[in-house]
Amino acid sequence: MRRILIANRGEIARRIIRTARLMGIETVAVYSDADANAPHVREATLAVHIGPAPATESYLRADKIIEAALKTGSDAIHPGYGFLSENAAFADACLGAGLIFIGPGADAIRAMGLKDGAKRLMRQAGVPIVPGYQGDDQSLDRLQRSANAIGYPILIKAVAGGGGKGMRRVDDADSFADALLAAKREAARAFGNDSVLIEKYLTQPRHVEVQVFADTHGNVVHLFERDCSLQRRHQKVVEEAPAPGLPESIRKAMGEAAVKAAKAINYVGAGTVEFILDVSEGIEKAPFYFMEMNTRLQVEHPVTEFITGYDLVEWQIRVARGEALPAKQKDIRIHGHAVEVRLYAEDAEGGFLPSTGRLERLHLPANQAGVRVDSGVEEGQEITVHYDPMIAKLIAHGTDRTVAIDRLVNALDATIAVGPKTNRGFLARLIGHPAFRAEEIDTGFIERHMGELAPIINVPDRLLALAALAAATPRAAPDMSSPWTALRSWRLNLPYRQSVDLFLPDNTKRTVTLTRTAEGMISVGGLDEPLLASPAWRDDYRFEVDFSGSLARATVLAHEHSLEVRVGGLTFHFGLRDNAEGDKGALPRDGKLMAPMPGKVLGIFVKPGQSVEAGDRLLVLEAMKMEHRLTAPAAGTVKAVHIGENDQVPEGRLLIELDVEQASA
């Protein structure tokens, strides 16, 4: 194999390029209009433009990608994950064009493509599956009877589902019919297939998946498990390997079941067999069930690479070249522990809405011991609505779980991203949470602890003072070389007396006053007790305040109208103006509901003249592959609806106007 075309973008394209280069193999990048300046394009040996920004017109265009491979004399295609990676027709088309598809055969992809078929197949192969109904009869009567027989709560799942879409939990027989209709509607829209399956809803499960690998010589091995139980809306947020507290007997049984699953479909290459582990009665004898198999390399593969010491992309390429697997089962061992988090451009403090825009600053901790960073974007690059908003994966390894978590905490602390909002602070709170450290994990973890994972609103006085001082003077020019210059400009710019409004995450306002004293210090008022302070910027982000001999050091990031202050592993968020007024996407006090981001209108639930209560669903907008509900900020009457279903709307577009009822005093 001399040259591989990578039918993907972002971090996974760069990841594949890295290994190919080590193996002396050339790479071909493909890119859309939006990615002309993306790092994967520059890092590949060659690059081919394949179309406009929307993935349907570029990264999902099998024909253009195969044409690019042929034109560049590539002999193989690596699909990465997402996009065409689990598309059986694409795998076939590659073969048809005389190209090697770096992945399993199309039949194996098809066998695992639909959840119902995959489960039936696994049941036959003797792999345990969650009790449920996976039949073809999709009538309400049949499905309702199955649900009743299983016993509530049950879960309705779209057979073609993915990414947590098309799933509905149902708690009693009475709400089944409505939930079924909703699930089928969502599935039809998202996957063009409204078939569903019904299964027992496990109330306290862990998501444990096993990495498998198979070659064309009949060898199949597993590379142990990953625990991906920390999820939000059924999507993974933190992944680790091995699974904390998993008894050796279960580990062994799961590994064997995964190998059995791979063998049942004559699997070749890298795959992941996902299991759900029922820990409601404790983990010692927890039963596990097959959930689905992902027939590709996964986002979270680095934690497995860390604990096994193998390069899974290298294994993929070797298998595709027809070589035998590089290791035998008995030689594959677990070394230490690894944890991964996904850094996303999303407003974790504001309801997890996706956030777009230019990454003004991006610093990722590339050189810390035991830390690996796989990133897809660079400083200056735009996070667009077209693709997954992942900025980077941060992965840490250590001799044990505590060391790995500590390293990841430090890595997150050293991560600087200015521009779009990110989930960095949320991730730091999550992996720093005592219950996570104590291995008290299951898929309900995030929901259960949401209160403690929310941004801090009880801010100590010294921190309010520090934030106000940092906000009072805009930072010196970013390339300012000497901190002393910055310090001088600070003193020069600060008027005799100034007040700073700081808005806490719950939008309460604290007004802090800063008054210069004769000694050149600053007296900070508006707090429980006044403080005397002497502040200084040490560089672009490091800010220090000497409070009468006691020094407070913080990392301070300012962007537009917000301030992020990090002290001792904690992150505090401050708004510098009232979020409820004027900010895009904020509560429309004038009754005008604007699009908080560009997106597609999936559904409109109100008509002009209709009266609504505060919190009523008005419309659903799809942006960055996620659905966002926009709800009525207050009771009122719908005055006008300015958009139609399926409309593509730009950010700030007027969507719906309400006549808001005046609150009676």
Of 155-163, 451-459, 526-534, 564-572: span binding ligand ADP (CB under 6 A) = 155-163
231 binds ligand ADP (CB under 6 A): yes
What's the rounded Cα separation, in Å, for the pair 188 and 177? Answer: 16
Q: How far is the CB of 365 from ligand ADP (least distance, A)?
A: 29
636 binds ligand ADP (CB under 6 A): no
168 binds ligand ADP (CB under 6 A): no
What's the rounded Cα separation, in Å, for the pair 353 and 370? Answer: 31
Strand order in the sheet with 599-604: 626-631, 617-623, 599-604, 648-649
What's the rounded Cα separation, in Å, for the pair 625 and 620? Answer: 12
162 binds ligand ADP (CB under 6 A): yes
237 binds ligand ADP (CB under 6 A): no
Contact indicator for 212, 112 with CB cutoff of 8 Å: no
What's the rounded Cα separation, in Å, for the pair 368 and 407? Answer: 8
Q: Nearer to ligand ADP by C-beta: 179 or 580? A: 179
Beta-strand relationship, 562-567 and 570-575: antiparallel
- Tell me, by CB under 6 A, how many residues bind ligand ADP: 21
Residue selected from 131, 163, 322, 380 as contacting ligand ADP according to rule CB under 6 A: 163
Q: How far is the CB of 225 from ligand ADP (least distance, A)?
A: 13
Q: Nearer to ligand ADP by C-beta: 70 or 450? A: 450
Residue 322: Cβ within 10 Å count: 11
Q: Nearer to ligand ADP by C-beta: 153 or 603? A: 153
Q: Which of 296, 372, 424, 566 is catalytic?
A: 296
**Per the structure block, which two tokens stand in for 302?**
């680095």
What's the rounded Cα separation, in Å, for the pair 343 and 353? Answer: 14
Query: CA nearest 390: which of 364, 414, 413?
Result: 364
Q: How far is the CB of 276 from ligand ADP (least distance, A)?
A: 5
What's the rounded Cα separation, in Å, for the pair 60 and 438? Answer: 42
Q: Nearer to ligand ADP by C-beta: 210 or 466? A: 210
What's the rounded Cα separation, in Å, for the pair 54 and 452? Answer: 38
What's the rounded Cα separation, in Å, for the pair 297 and 664? Answer: 58
**Alpha-carbon dihedral of residues 53, 56, 60, 63, nearest 10 degrees?**
-100
Query: CA nearest 283: which of 441, 129, 401?
Result: 441
134 binds ligand ADP (CB under 6 A): no
Burial class (CB in 10 A: 0-12, 13-18, 19+), 295: buried
Of 154-162, 417-425, 629-637, 642-650: span binding ligand ADP (CB under 6 A) = 154-162
Active site residue 296: yes
657 binds ligand ADP (CB under 6 A): no
What's the rounded Cα separation, in Å, for the pair 107 and 104? Answer: 8
Of 39-47, 156-164, 318-326, 574-582: span binding ligand ADP (CB under 6 A) = 156-164
Classified as helix, coil or strand, 520 is: coil
Give the total residue count for the chain. 665
Q: How far is the CB of 158 from ligand ADP (least distance, A)?
A: 8
Q: Nearer to ligand ADP by C-beta: 111 or 524? A: 111
Residues 238-297 that bind ligand ADP (CB under 6 A): 274, 276, 291-292
Q: Nearer to ligand ADP by C-beta: 114 or 554? A: 114
Q: How far is the CB of 201 from ligand ADP (least distance, A)?
A: 4
Residue selected from 443, 534, 555, 571 as contacting ligand ADP according to rule CB under 6 A: 443
**Per the structure block, which two tokens stand in for 606?**
């109100």
Site string for ligand ADP, 180-219 (x = CB under 6 A): -------------------xxxx--x-x------------
Residues marked active site are found at 296
User: Interface residues with ligand ADP (CB under 6 A)?
Assistant: 130, 155, 157, 161-165, 199-202, 205, 207, 231, 234, 274, 276, 291-292, 443
